[in-house]
Amino acid sequence: MLNSEYLKNLNKAQKEAVTYLDGPLLIVAGAGSGKTKVLTTRIANIIKEKKAYPNQILAVTFTNKAAKEMQIRVSKILGSSATGLSWLGTFHSICAKLLRKHAPAVNLKSNFTIIDTDDQTRLIKNICKAENIDIKQLAPRYILAIIDKWKNKGFYPNEVLINQKDVYEKTILPIYKIYQQKLIDLNSCDFGDLILHAVKILEKNKDLRKIYSTNFKYILVDEYQDTNFIQSRWLKLLSEKNKNICCVGDDDQSIYSWRGAEIKNFLEFDQVYENTKVIRLEENYRSTENILAVASNLIANNENRVGKTLKTTLNEGELVKLNCYKNGKDEAIGISDEIEKIKQEYSYNNITILVRAIFQTREFEERFLKIGLPYRILGGIKFYERAEIKDCIAYLRLVYQEKDDLAFERIVNNPKRSIGDSTIKSIHEFSKRQKDCLEISSRKMIEENLIKPKAKIGLMSFLDLISKWRNDLTIKKMGHVKLLQTILDESGYSAMLKNKKDLENENRLENIKELLSAMKEFDNLESFLDHVSLATSIDQEWEGEKVNMMTMHAAKGLEFDVIFLPGWEEGLFPHQKSIEEKGQSGLEEERRLAYVGLTRAKKKVVVSFSMNRFYQGDWIDSMASRFIDELPDKYLEKNSFFDETKEEIEEFEFNQDIENESGINSPGWIRYQKRIK
């Protein structure tokens, strides 16, 4: 039964966005302004007003979850009328449906398979092997990332124009040609192909394009600021006849350029589609007035934006807290203390720490484990459970004691030493018969010449290194931090991460650097390994409510009562790499990321920075992020560190921390005080 009240629950701008049904429409939907409600109500209204049948509406989202939620909401308004929404789904699901109908046009059969990332990687590895390309130097995942980039730009292999000076692209293009032909031979396509093939079919076949663009009387797109070139091209082709395309999004939340998203799709929408109507949803239903004022003032510093003025329906709320700490450890203590103070008022599940880089979670995890504060890592893996960290720990465990078979098995062929599964199986069988550990069994098998020549060389080299590192530890009394650095260098593990062209390796290296910093806090290897064992065992026992930790990127689309935003320091946030690679556009995207972080909060925000970071075994003198200067003072509550006067500050040597009556002064803190006074 039709819910006739569905328009009454909308504000003026929302109602206009729902009822405007003639021509291109761009809905600039600010954070927490009810964009999903508008989209679903608009679909319902189109059907109710008999402007189109459900199967004449194309509604596109980025996730299956969003598509399902949209379906449910429309059904609540219309009842059974929503069942005919056969073209509601993600870009990939809808393109797959279209492609099944017209597969022969791209040399596929309609029963083609869609291969996943593992299958893609396996195929690339096989191609590299056949073409004598060293995957240690050019990782399959990096090759696939470049191929995906080309597909997102709308290029088949014969259409790619490469930079001849780029040695990687020159090598990858021939691989792309072979890869694409292999997919055709296998009657398969990858996720990038789904949209690329769909676009090529529509571009080459005018009659078919006319059929689809005529059928789709209304097109609706969620999160339009996250679209890439090929997605926007597909939408343009399908809206060719009726022009009734409605795109919803927020340019201030465009944070995925590294994934191919092009903000210009949003900013230039009215140039691509003539006679575009622009409606701004500026009423925020999520955040308090003070939080919104801080976020709006910050994002106003971006030049490339459509622009909007958000206002809240809620009360003033608490001031946004701005805390300065002496160092990262104190920051973790300060935030945990704050959580302890508010835990009666807010559920742990509604408290979230948002970081710029995933390695930042380590100090918080250490602190939370120490005081028994339960937590979860959303969209990521807990620090001591990350593969590269477990590898490092395994090396240290085996050096510490030879009977650690689990550690042995994990690292004996990591990096690759030509010790395959069959060799490891043989060692296991020998070990079982001899009732010895894997390491001793390996040494005996070498003596008895029971290992194949190639594997024998790799195994001997590995065992010699283990003996050498044990000597470094026990005889030479090498410190545990230096020991791990030595292991990483001499094992080839560091070189493996540094040399491999792989998009994830930068994060892995950052995590290892953070591990080295963590180890400095312990007197010896034994105490550190005990700490790690305790950390991982305790971690698994917690159930129920937990404080959330995640990156700001992972928080997009979520909301929580309380948000903590630590590490607002130059180089970390805005991230140095982003500015170096993209200049002003990189800085603006970092600012949009800050905006996203702030607007996840409903009731309480705490921003913090520290004046010193312990990084890679050294104290780094840090400076408060430029974004701190862009936060309006009248909406901020600062901690006691800000009470220092200029007269109380003296000059100290670089990287010194001096205790005095008024607390601790560090060089970074002094520098910041001089800058702000």
pLDDT digits (tens, 9 = 90+) for 301-331: 999 998 888 899 889 999 999 999 999 999 9
d(CA 221, CA 39): 8
Which one from 222, 262, 338, 502 is the annotated catalytic residue?
222
Share of the chain above pLDDT 70, in %: 91
What radius of gyration do the chain's Cα atoms show? 29
Q: Is the pLDDT of residue 166 over 60?
A: yes
HSE of 316, CA atoms in CB hemisphere, 13 A: 5
Q: Give the per-residue pLDDT at 657.
A: 40
Q: What is the mean pLDDT of residues 184-207?
A: 95
- Structure confidence at residue 510 as a pLDDT band (50, 70, 90): confident
Q: Give the per-residue pLDDT at 236.
A: 97
d(CA 124, CA 269): 37
Q: Is the pLDDT of residue 14 over 90?
A: yes
Q: What letter represents residue 228's amino acid?
A: N
35 carries an active-site annotation: yes
Distance of CA 393 to the CA centre of its chain: 25
Helix, strand or coil, per DSSP, at residue 257: helix
Q: What is the mean pLDDT of residues 651-664?
A: 39
CB 511 within 8 A of CB 358: yes
Alpha carbon distance, N-terminus to C-terminus of the chain: 65
Q: What is the mean pLDDT of residues 68-93?
A: 84
Q: What is the mean pLDDT of residues 30-53?
A: 92
Which one from 171, 225, 253, 288 is the annotated catalytic residue?
253
Q: Is the pLDDT of residue 651 over 60?
A: no
Q: Give the per-residue pLDDT at 613.
A: 81
- Structure confidence at residue 617 as a pLDDT band (50, 70, 90): low
- Structure confidence at residue 532 as a pLDDT band (50, 70, 90): confident
Residue 615 bridge partners (DSSP): 618
3 contact partners, CB below 8 Å, separation of at least 6 = 76, 77, 78
Q: What is the mean pLDDT of the chain?
A: 88
Which one from 35, 286, 326, 591 is the annotated catalytic residue?
35
Q: Is the pLDDT of residue 492 over 80?
A: yes
Looking at per-residue pLDDT, the higher value among 544 and 157 belongs to 157
CB 354 within 8 A of CB 563: yes
CB 28 within 8 A of CB 51: no
Q: Is the pLDDT of residue 663 over 50?
A: no
d(CA 644, CA 665): 10
Q: Is the pLDDT of residue 645 over 70?
A: no
Q: Give the per-residue pLDDT at 518.
A: 87
Distance of CA 669 to the CA centre of its chain: 31
Query: Which candidate, 236, 154, 232, 143, places its Cα nearest to that of 193?
Result: 154
Share of the chain above pLDDT 90, in %: 65
Tokens at 609, concatenated:
């920075």
Q: Give the per-residue pLDDT at 502.
A: 61
- Structure confidence at residue 537 as a pLDDT band (50, 70, 90): low
Give helix 525-541 / helix 480-491 axis angle, nearest 10°. Answer: 80
619 contact partners, CB below 8 Å, separation of at least 6 = 327, 612, 613, 655
pLDDT digits (tens, 9 = 90+) for 397-418: 999 988 888 889 999 999 999 9
CB 74 within 8 A of CB 44: yes
Helix (H) or strand (E) holding 635: none
Buried b (16+ CB within 10 A) or exposed e, 646-666: eeebeeeeeeebeeeeeebbb
pLDDT digits (tens, 9 = 90+) for 420-478: 889 999 999 999 898 899 999 999 999 999 999 999 999 999 999 999 999 999 999 99
d(CA 572, CA 525): 30
d(CA 362, CA 371): 14
Q: What is the dihedral of CA 183, 186, 191, 194, to 10 degrees?
A: 90
Which pTM was predicted?
A: 0.79
Q: Is the pLDDT of residue 369 over 80?
A: yes
Looking at per-residue pLDDT, the higher value among 246 and 671 belongs to 246
pLDDT digits (tens, 9 = 90+) for 379-390: 778 888 889 999
d(CA 473, CA 525): 9
Q: Is 46 left (phi over 0), alpha (psi -120 to 50) or beta?
A: alpha
50 contact partners, CB below 8 Å, separation of at least 6 = none
Q: Is the pLDDT of residue 99 over 50?
A: yes
Which one from 73, 233, 386, 600 is the annotated catalytic residue?
600
Cβ count near 639 (within 10 Å): 14
Q: Give the per-residue pLDDT at 466.
A: 95
- Structure confidence at residue 75 as a pLDDT band (50, 70, 90): confident
253 carries an active-site annotation: yes
675 carries an active-site annotation: no
Which one from 223, 250, 330, 338 is the annotated catalytic residue?
223
Q: Give the per-residue pLDDT at 667.
A: 43
Query: Which candidate, 251, 278, 246, 276, places its Cα nearest to that of 263?
Result: 251
**Residue that is written with structure tokens 């001793």 in the block:** 440
Query: Is the preceding peptide bond at 104 cis, omega within 30 degrees of 0?
Result: no
Q: Is the pLDDT of residue 662 over 50?
A: no
Query: Is the preceding peptide bond at 157 cis, omega within 30 degrees of 0?
Result: no
What are the contacts of 142-145 at 24+ separation with CB within 8 A?
142/168, 142/500, 142/501, 142/502, 142/503, 143/172, 143/175, 144/117, 144/120, 145/503
d(CA 67, CA 475): 63
Q: Is the pLDDT of residue 664 over 70?
A: no
- DSSP alpha helices (H): ranges in 401-452? 405-411, 421-434, 438-447
Number of H helices, E strands in the chain: 27, 20
**Helix/strand/coil percentages in the chain, nearest 5:** 55, 15, 30
36 carries an active-site annotation: yes
Which one from 15, 16, 19, 36 is the annotated catalytic residue?
36
Q: Is the pLDDT of residue 155 over 70?
A: yes
The two beta strands, 88-90 and 311-312, are unpaired
Q: Is the pLDDT of residue 593 over 90?
A: yes
